[in-house]
Amino acid sequence: QTTSSALKGAIQLGITHTVGSLSTKPERDVLMQDFYVVESIFFPSEGSNLTPAHHYNDFRFKTYAPVAFRYFRELFGIRPDDYLYSLCNEPLIELSNSGASGSLFYVSSDDEFIIKTVQHKEAEFLQKLLPGYYMNLNQNPRTLLPKFYGLYCVQAGGKNIRIVVMNNLLPRSVKMHLKYDLKGSTYKRRASQKEREKVFPTYKDLDFMQDIPDGLFLDSDMYNALCKTLQRDCLVLQSFKIMDYSLLVAIHNMDLAQREHAMADGTSQADTRRPAAQKALYSTAMESIQGEARRGGTIETDDQMGGIPARNAKGERLLLYIGIIDVLQSYRFVKKLEHSWKALVHDGDTVSVHRPSFYAERFQRFMCSTAFKKIPLKPSPSKKSRSGTAVPRRS
Note whether 234 and 361 are same-domain residues. yes
395 in a structural domain = no
Q: Helices 66-75 and 80-88 meet at what angle, rounded to 10?
A: 100
Q: Classify the phi-psi angles of 265: left when phi > 0, otherwise alpha if psi is within -120 to 50, otherwise beta.
A: left
DSSP sequence for 24-57? TSPP----GGGGG-EEEEEE-TT--SSS---SS-
Note whether 148 and 234 are same-domain residues. no
Q: Which pLDDT value is given to residue 300?
A: 45
Residue 360: C-alpha distances to residues 194, 204, 389 (Å) = 29, 17, 42
Residue 228: C-alpha distances to residues 67, 223, 224, 359, 369 (Å) = 31, 8, 6, 17, 13
CATH code of the domain covering residue 320: 3.30.810.10
Q: How many CB atoms lie within 10 A of CB 40?
A: 10
> What number of CA atoms fall less than 13 Å from residue 310's CA on the CB side?
29
Contact indicator for 245, 326 with CB cutoff of 8 Å: yes
Q: Which pLDDT value is given to residue 104?
A: 86
Note whether 32 and 142 are same-domain residues. yes
Strand order in the sheet with 93-95: 38-43, 59-64, 148-156, 159-167, 113-118, 105-107, 93-95
DSSP sequence for 53-101? --SS--EEEEEESHHHHHHHHHHTT--HHHHHHHHHSSPPEEES---TT
392 in a structural domain = no
- Alpha carbon distance 312, 215 (integer Å): 7
278 in a structural domain = no
Q: Which pLDDT value is given to residue 298?
A: 45
314 in a structural domain = yes
Note whether 215 and 122 are same-domain residues. no
- Residues in the chain predicted with pLDDT less than 50, given as ranges, are 1, 268-274, 292-302, 331, 333-334, 344, 347, 349-352, 385-386, 388, 390-391, 395
Q: What is the H or E stretch that residue 17 is in?
A: helix 2-23
DSSP sequence for 266-321? TS--GGGSPPPPPSSTT-SHHHHH-SGGGTSS----GGGTTPEEEE-TT--EEEEE
Note whether 105 and 237 are same-domain residues. no
277 in a structural domain = no
CATH code of the domain covering residue 117: 3.30.800.10
- Alpha carbon distance 243, 3 (integer Å): 33
Q: Which pLDDT value is given to residue 351?
A: 46
Q: Which pLDDT value is given to residue 280?
A: 64
> What number of CA atoms fall less than 13 Å from residue 346's CA on the CB side?
13
Q: What is the H or E stretch that residue 117 is in?
A: strand 113-118
DSSP sequence for 306-320? TPEEEE-TT--EEEE
Residue 88 belongs to domain spanning: 4-167
State pLDDT tens for residues 31-61. 999 999 999 999 999 999 999 999 999 999 9
Q: Helices 120-139 and 220-239 meet at what angle, rounded to 10?
A: 130
How many percent of the chain have pLDDT more than 70?
Answer: 79
State pLDDT tens for residues 91-129. 998 887 665 667 888 999 888 999 999 999 899 999 989
Q: Which pLDDT value is given to residue 98?
A: 61
CB-count exposure of residue 180 (10 Å: 0-12, 13-18, 19+): buried
208 in a structural domain = yes
Note whether 11 and 117 are same-domain residues. yes
Note whether 125 and 224 are same-domain residues. no
* Reduced DSSP (H G I as helix, E B as strand, rest coil) percent helix, strand, coil of the chain, to 5: 40, 20, 40
Q: Which pLDDT value is given to residue 357?
A: 87
Residues 6+ apart with CB under 8 A from 4: 94, 104
332 in a structural domain = yes
Contact indicator for 58, 41 with CB cutoff of 8 Å: no
Note whether 176 and 149 are same-domain residues. no
Q: Which pLDDT value is given to residue 275?
A: 52
Return the SS3 of 341: helix
Q: Which pLDDT value is given to residue 4?
A: 82
**Which of residues 167, 188, 223 is at a domain's end?**
167
User: What pTM was estimated for this model as a whole?
Assistant: 0.82
**Which of residues 127, 147, 167 is at a domain's end?**
167
Note whether 212 and 331 are same-domain residues. yes
Rg (CA), the chain: 23
Q: How many domains does the chain have?
A: 2
Q: Helices 80-88 and 2-23 meet at what angle, rounded to 10?
A: 170
Note whether 160 and 211 are same-domain residues. no
- Alpha carbon distance 154, 6 (integer Å): 11
Q: Which pLDDT value is given to residue 382?
A: 56
**Which of residues 139, 167, 195 is at a domain's end?**
167
Range 272-275 contact pairs with CB under 8 angstroms and sequence separation of 24 or more: 273/173, 274/173, 274/302, 275/111, 275/171, 275/173, 275/174, 275/305
269 in a structural domain = no
Note whether 159 and 208 are same-domain residues. no
Note whether 206 and 183 are same-domain residues. yes
